[in-house]
Chain A
Amino acid sequence: MRTSLFFASMLIALATAPAAHAAKASPQTPEQRIAALEAHVDALEAELQQVKAAQAATTGSMAPVAATTAPASTQQDEIDSLAATPDDAATASAPQDTTASLAAPADNAGGSGGGANAFNPAISIILNGSYSHHSLDTDAYSRSGFPLVGEGAPSANGFSLGESEVSFAANIDDKLYGQLTLTAESENGEDHGGVEEAFIDTTSLPAGFSLRAGRFYSNIGYLNSHHAHTDSFFDRPLAYQAFLGNQYGDDGLQLRWVAPTSLFLEFGGEAFRGENFPSGGAQHDGIGTRTLFAHVGGDAGSNNEWLAGVSMLKTRAQDAEDGFSGDTTLYIADGTWKWAPQGNFKDGGITLRSEYFLDDRDGTFADPDAPAVTALWNGQRRGAYLEGVYRFNRTWDIGYRYDKLWADDNGPFASAFDPWRHSAELTWRNSEFSLVRLQLSHEKPNAADSDNAVTVQYQTSLGAHGAHKF
């Protein structure tokens, strides 16, 4: 094979020998010599410029730059003609004079033509849909020790529109940035629209501080601040479903500070209205929830990256979705470790992630369906997940996740059984902007039942380029 290829190339080379291309093989043809002479002339001209520049350099001013640009040098003219004009380089302060003036007017402005739409925000749209089948009747599903809250129920059987969202974002002025994310999803055939996030961020606070106000997802834990379309699995871990109703977002205020250290170190706190689970009833005059979080992260060599954090959410609830009234404190520890050769995660690598939840209740329970039934609710529940995703290349990844919840032995949801689930996923990506995912799971939500589920999901992103968050 190799030798035949070799002979074939020989033949081609011989056959085309008189043609210009073959000239490169022997540097003696006229074209070759002309090219070499041209280059030599260029070299001499450049040398001349250097001598002039060197003379000018002794004066020690900006003159050398000007000196090389002033005379008619073909090389310099060629370079100058490639410079963007001052208009293009909107941020280029003090453009260097002659270089710019010699440049042909370029149209680098990139869509900044006038018009009322010129300041339209960046729009990005996530389209997402799925088909699921559960072996267990989803209406009969119950999770021992953990009532279903928020969006924390298993997916519906059959086709459904997942969380499809449209997001608008832009700088508001020199000090503020704004983002609005609207969602549409169907739940048992009914369409729901909603404001998922609507917040403003400061962009100009000094010393690494930033402030966010509006409706947004809390920065506690790892997954909570991430939109579901960036997840590696179709659904959120059981701990997120049980303790945060899938994801905690509310109306509030966030202050964040990044330390000026070589290790990434971030601290912050939030105050929320306290309307959504695990809160409820907007207690404390509508500042029912407060959080604190700290994250630390860095590199370990050029192949490993890590991020770890601890967070706390404290809320006072009145008639929360699970019937709880009183004080809830939720502690979360999260850790992420990524390995990829040279950090090229998109081309293959491993992501390991785990989060641990401790939910502490001190209050009373009133059954939402029969409010006359009340009981003390004083106890702790825990949950955790561990997931690993192996990325083969840009196109394929495969992942496994183990979920576990530990129920309370006492109180209104006392259970001796602790729910668990195994999930496995396989994802195919056509590009950075589209994927199809297959997920299989085996779950034991209570002592009597088990559920085997299969889900096929598509997820796409169009419009403005999304962020590659860690």
Chain B
Amino acid sequence: MKILSLKRRLRAGLASLLALMVMGIGAVVMVYPYVYMVGGSLKTRSEFATDRPAILPPRFEPSRLFQRFVVGRKDPDYDQQLKEWPLQRNYADAITFGHIDRFVCNSFLYAFVITAISLVVNVMAAYAFARMRFPGRDLLFGMLLMTMMIPSTVLLIPQFLLIQRLGLVDHPLGVVLPAFADAFGIFLLRQFFISIPTDLESAARVDGCSRGGILRHVIVPLSKPVLITLGLFTFMAAWNAFEWPLVVLSNQDLYPLTVGLALFRDQNTQDWPRVFAASVLGSVPLIALFYAAQRYLVSGITLSGIKG
């Protein structure tokens, strides 16, 4: 009996080890492009051209770093190389010539406005669809679900013409307006609202709370995790949007990060370290935001209305 359980435990441990190894390899595959991007952003132009396959610039070679800083061997050549570190150059260029800071601000503004307004719009609609009865409810909700299937590529041309008619081409409002309502968000929120017990609402109603009051004081506080999840996903989608702002905007001052990066690449086809520095600057804000909000995310994904 003892031997058997030992054997089983050994087997389970082995399986766990194997899983760890495969997952570890996968993790390296996931991280490698980021390391390559950061490393590239720290190279000089000539280093990038000659040592393209190298992940890190030569001055960060671990053996040399070890010799210089751990062993403490004097190496004036190496010190000189470190002094000519192009960190400042590439990153400063990305900001002074590429205006990446402005693009990041624009992206933040677009993503923030879209997230804030669409959350309000979607919460209101989702609450009505979840809790109120009115003629045409199921028909309208069905129509909403159907629109989830429409590819954005199909909507690109007519939406552009609509925005053109509204005089919003090359206007920040034109970038954000079509994203203010989101069928998927309404669907997701409705699923969650339905799962909230009605007892709480009935109690609030007895106390004379209006529909708006219930929504604000009962439903929204109870839905915080799903609201944060949806907010993050909306923010992410708005931050990643490329095709729509590319079509709507021609004034470079209004470009979001994605379009701005594409423009910066076109202006610097011979200077990739700069482009990589800009890419690093462009990816850090969202990654930071997500890891700040990570604890909501894991629960949020399970909440996203998909029954396993």
* A and B associate: no
